[in-house]
Amino acid sequence: MMMTAMAFGLVTLLIVFVVAALLDCARTPAERVRYVPRWLWLLFMLHAPVFGALVWNYAGKRPGPAG
Closest CA to 18 of 51, 63, 60, 40: 51
45 contacts 17 by C-beta, under 8 angstroms = no
What is each CA distance from 19 to 12, 66, 67, in whole angstroms? 11, 26, 27
Using alpha carbons only, what angle is made at residue 8 by residues 4 and 51, rounded to the nearest 5 degrees?
125
Which carries the bigger pLDDT value, residue 2 or residue 47?
47
Structure confidence by residue, pLDDT tens digits, 24-57: 999 999 889 999 999 999 999 999 999 999 999 9
Is 0.85 topped by the overall pTM?
A: no
